[in-house]
Copies of this chain bind each other. A is one copy, B any other.
Amino acid sequence: MTERSLIFPAAEYRTRVQNLQTRMAQDGLDALLLTTPADVFYVTGFLTRFWESPARPWFIILPAEGDPVAVIPAIGADLMGRTWLQDIITWDAPHPEDDGVSLLAQTLCDLTAVDARIGVPMGLETHLRMPLSDYARLSSRIAPRRFADGTATVQRVREIKSAAEVVKIQEICAIAGRAYDRVPEFAHVGRPLDAVFRDFQIALLQEGADWISYVAGGAGPDGYGDVISPAPPTPLAAGDVLMLDTGAVRDGYFCDFDRNYAVGRASDAARRVQDALWHTTEDVLTRLHPGMLACDVHALFAQGLTAQGVTPGGGRLGHGLGITLTEWPSFTPLDTTPLQAGMVLTLEPGAQVSDGTYIVHEENIHLTDAGAVLLSPRAPRTLPEI
């Protein structure tokens, strides 16, 4: 039985390819070579959790004109055959002597002229998902063709979401919102944090997530020391601020927002920080507009929090979101990416409660010509008590 596995109609992918090819022409690239789960999914609709296995590389070639070509392990032929792609070439991977390199080199040479510049994402927030020594062999096999940086080419296209993509992100945000509403059902004084993490993942699945790629959190009397830790078995205590953060997935699209709860009554310091985070976010939501730079958003948050009398957290205060948990750009003082209508972004201000502890607040938004539209259900103004 051959069921199509497209997520979107083929027209969505054709538009993406057209946008990439337009940008490739501007950037002087004669083809793109894509290797990561997100880039492959973006162009083809090929969605699998099998990327979890590091055993095999997967390749999509996007020529200057025409449809993409998949050069992939045979184990993926059936699933790739159910996407919109017609041109699928396979080898029996993993192959210890030639794990697709000859096949890929030949296909690249067939699809491009000898002086071609072939774009590979190699800049900030990218990596190449194939063995480094195979990349070196590939580079010499395709010469005088050469690889060039395709980061901006991919980023400028992927960062603008279609209406269909925004709907997908909105769906998973709504799913996570319902799961967050249920946290008081299973988080209470004495309950170990790891049990809370398990129940939260169960709630996300029950509310409609396909899978949960990311859960982090923490709990303590004045917030938490970081936002990336797995859960310890420590029981929740009265006065803790509990934070849960998730990147849950539906149809390949992520949400990424957290929620904070007070276990009993939070400290005055924690309440003051929560208040500053909420009001600053409220203010930034009204000010966001296309044409600002990513660093402008960082400045808005930093100034807003400082004006409220709290100390902003370090690091970035938000980022892009879509088919990975985090995407370009980053709200840091150094990121000068212009914001554009169609971007989906997280607003993620954090502020210090006491030495070494923080509260982090997070929302997901769609940037439109009319400003920010919330995709996550807005966090409550005060910490919900559980």
Contacts and interface: CB of A to CB of B under 8 A. Distances in A.
A198 interface: yes
Given A75-B226, A122-B131, A215 B326 contact: no
Contacts of A315: 73-75, 92-93
A306 interface: no
Contact of A330 (B94, B123, B228, B356): B94
Contacts of A194: 210
B324 A53 contact: yes
Interface stretch (A42-50, A260-268, A277-285, A373-381): A42-50
Interface string A126-169: 11111111010000000000000101000000000000000000
Interface residues of A, number: 85
Given A133-B122, A230-B47, A315-B75, A53 B94 contact: no
A314 interface: yes
A89 interface: no
B314 A55 contact: no
Interface in A348-380: 356
A133 B128 contact: no
B55 A319 contact: yes
B78 A214 contact: no
Given A50-B228, A315-B75, A96 B124 contact: yes
Contacts of A135: 132
A332 interface: yes
A110 interface: no
Interface string A311-338: 0001110010000111000101011100
A246 B131 CA distance: 25
Interface stretch (A11-19, A24-32, A60-68, A201-209): A201-209
A86 interface: no
A79 interface: yes
Contacts of A309: none
Contacts of A77: 226
Given A49-B213, A78-B356, 5 more contacts: A3-B232, A5-B229, A48-B230, A123-B131, A212-B212
Q: Which 6 A-B pairs have the closest CB atoms?
A: A122-B132, A50-B228, A78-B226, A53-B326, A78-B225, A122-B133
15 contacts: A2-B225, A3-B234, A50-B216, A52-B247, A53-B324, A54-B125, A73-B315, A76-B226, A79-B229, A95-B332, A123-B133, A128-B128, A202-B205, A202-B206, A211-B215
